């Protein structure tokens, strides 16, 4: 299967640059997984499409202030993106400009009480192993929260006035370099409405890694290798998900990160097992889902592993048709954009809204 089969035309002005004033005011395309029919709603209408006994599974990861800016002794500016902690105060990181950041380089971040960064190793993948030395009396985490910035995807051109808008309202386990963006639409009030109508809410953790920034460079889908990411599913979450399924409820993943985690820990019959580890599961058309019945997700980049996952659940042609409809209707795309709900039986016959003319 060729990667270019997952391409589509996207006008640049549809790439959302800022979040809406209210999270749940975003648009929601509801797509019937069985028939491919769709209708248009607002995200705050989500309770209309869920029912008592369903289980909504969310990723409670929090984006780390992982972007650091500093200067080399020569005065040249350096940017680091911290990917994951190693041992002994060392981190795996990306550096820019990479050709100027060789082993032995020292970078100073901040002017008052600076953080010193020592580059120890350059890896073939372009990553750097760096050691962070915070000022006396301060931990690395404290220094990062003082000097670091929340990293934003490269297609977002301006810094946010409120960095919390790139966090979900339920984010609590710090460790990601990017937000699980399907969850950005939820408000505490919306979550309460869902719980009040009998929808179970379960949380797991998957820390989004560098793979979210890297394009698929292979020509064939099967040749792409996913970057491994850390996950954790607590026993209480597994119990809630399994109880919902046993009682006939549907399991709806909020985002591709939740989907990959649940499919990683699910047995053949769909039972979810608690545990933690690293997953590099790559889901694309032909994959047989075990754990989820539905998905809430944003609209993703062309040729990305994320649109491939959506196509595995909905079908490639139905996915591309829905994306063409979203473009025609001027939906907002990517991290701060609008959302899609894919769910079996979600659109009754006669309720679909046909695509606009090409």
Residues 184 and 126 in one domain: no
**What CATH number has the domain bearing residue 133?**
2.40.10.240
pTM of structure:
0.93
**293 assigned to some structural domain:** yes
Query: For the ranges 49-53, 208-212, 302-306, 343-347, which has the lowest average pLDDT?
Result: 208-212
- Give the other-Cβ count within 10 Å of 176's Cβ: 26
Measured over the CA atoms of residue 102, residue 106, residue 111 and residue 113, the dihedral's sign is: positive
Could you tell me if residue 351 is inside a domain?
A: no
Q: Domain boundary at 97, 123, 147, which?
A: 147
Q: 228-239, pLDDT tens digit by residue?
A: 999 999 999 999
- The pLDDT tens digits of the residues spanning 124-156 come to 878 999 999 999 999 999 999 999 999 999 899
Same domain, 184 and 299: yes
Confidence of residue 60 (pLDDT cuts 50, 70, 90): very high
75 located within any domain? yes
- What's the pLDDT at 210? 80
CA separation, residue 327 to residues 6, 13, 330 (Å): 15, 11, 5
Among 124, 147, 170, the domain boundary falls at 147
Determine the structural domain holding residue 257 and report its residue range. 3-63+161-343
Residues 115 and 166 in one domain: no
Residues 166 and 299 in one domain: yes
Strands 67-71 and 77-85, sheet pairing? antiparallel
Instruction: State in Å, rounded, how far the first CA of the chain is from the last one.
Output: 26
Q: Pick from 91, 118, 147: which residue ends a domain? A: 147
Q: Does residue 40 share a domain with residue 77? A: no
Give domain status of residue 156, yes or no: no
Which pLDDT score, from 0 to 100, does residue 99 have? 85
User: What does the pLDDT read at residue 213?
Assistant: 64
The answer to whether 127 and 119 are in contact (CB under 8 A) is no
Nearest Cα residue to 10 out of 248, 226, 320, 291: 320
Give the model confidence (pLDDT) of 176-214 as tens digits.
Answer: 999 999 999 999 999 999 999 999 999 999 999 987 667
In a domain, 154, yes or no: no
CB 160 within 8 A of CB 142: no
Residue by residue, DSSP assigns 317-353 as: HHHHHHHHHHHHTT--BSTTS-EEEEETT-S-TT---
Same domain membership, residue 183 and residue 140: no
Q: Are 185 and 167 in contact (CB under 8 A)?
A: no
The reply to whether 11 and 72 lie within a common domain is: no
Based on the domain organization, do 247 and 312 belong to the same domain?
yes
In this structure, are 43 and 105 located in the same domain?
no
Q: How many domains does the chain have?
A: 2
Distance CA 330, CA 336 (A): 14
Cβ-proximal residues to 57 (8 Å cutoff; 6+ apart), any chain: 202, 203, 204, 237, 241, 251, 252, 253, 254, 258, 262, 292
On whether both 9 and 137 belong to a single domain, the answer is no
CATH number of the domain where residue 46 is located: 3.40.1780.10
DSSP string, 66-130: -EEEEE-TTS-EEEEEEEEE-STTEEEEEEESGGG--TT-EEEE-SSSPEEEEEEEE-TTS-EEE
Q: Which of 209, 347, 176 is nearest to 281 (CA)?
A: 209
The residues that bridge with 106 in the sheet, in sequence order, are 118
Statement to judge: residues 205 and 140 lie in one domain: no
* Three-state DSSP state, 64: coil
Q: Is residue 170 domain-resident?
A: yes
232 and 309 share a domain? yes
pLDDT tens sequence across 31-49: 999 999 999 999 999 999 9
pLDDT tens sequence across 272-293: 999 999 999 999 999 999 999 9
Assess if residue 348 is contained within a domain.
Answer: no
Does 353 map to a domain?
A: no
The share of the chain scoring above pLDDT 90, in percent, equals 89
What's the number of CA atoms in the CB half-sphere (13 Å) around residue 342?
29
pLDDT of residue 358: 36
């Amino acid at each position: 299967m060729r990667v270019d089969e997952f391409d589509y035309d996207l006008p640049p002005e549809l790439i959302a640059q800022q979040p809406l004033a209210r999270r749940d005011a975003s648009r929601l395309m509801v797509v019937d997984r069985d028939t491919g029919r769709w209708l248009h709603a607002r995200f705050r209408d989500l309770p209309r499409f869920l029912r008592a006994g369903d289980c909504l599974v969310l990723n409670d990861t929090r984006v780390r202030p992982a972007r650091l800016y500093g200067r080399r002794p020569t005065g040249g500016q350096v940017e680091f993106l911290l990917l994951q902690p190693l041992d002994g105060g060392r981190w795996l990181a990306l550096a820019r400009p990479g050709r100027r950041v060789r082993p032995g380089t020292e970078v100073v971040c901040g002017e008052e009480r600076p953080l010193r960064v020592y580059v120890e190793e350059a890896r073939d993948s372009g990553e750097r192993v760096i050691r962070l030395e915070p000022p006396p009396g301060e931990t690395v985490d404290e220094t990062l929260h003082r000097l670091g910035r929340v990293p934003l995807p490269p297609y977002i051109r301006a810094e946010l006035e409120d960095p919390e808008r790139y966090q979900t309202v339920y984010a609590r386990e710090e460790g990601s370099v990017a937000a699980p963006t399907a969850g950005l639409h939820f408000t505490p009030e919306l979550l309460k409405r869902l719980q009040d109508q009998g929808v179970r809410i379960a949380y797991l953790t998957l820390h989004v890694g560098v793979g979210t920034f890297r394009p698929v460079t292979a020509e064939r889908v099967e040749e792409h290798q996913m970057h491994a990411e850390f996950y954790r599913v607590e026993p209480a979450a597994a119990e809630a998900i399994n109880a919902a399924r046993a009682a006939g409820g549907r399991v709806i993943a909020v985002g591709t990160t939740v989907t990959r985690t649940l499919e990683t820990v699910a047995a053949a019959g769909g039972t979810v097992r608690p545990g933690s580890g690293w997953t590099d599961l790559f889901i694309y058309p032909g994959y047989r889902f075990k754990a989820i019945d539905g998905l809430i997700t944003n609209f993703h980049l062309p040729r990305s592993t994320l649109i491939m996952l959506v196509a595995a659940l909905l079908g490639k042609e139905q996915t591309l048709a829905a994306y063409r409809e979203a473009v025609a209707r001027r939906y907002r795309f990517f991290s701060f954009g609008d959302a899609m709900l894919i769910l079996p039986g979600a659109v009754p016959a006669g309720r679909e809204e046909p695509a606009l003319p090409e």
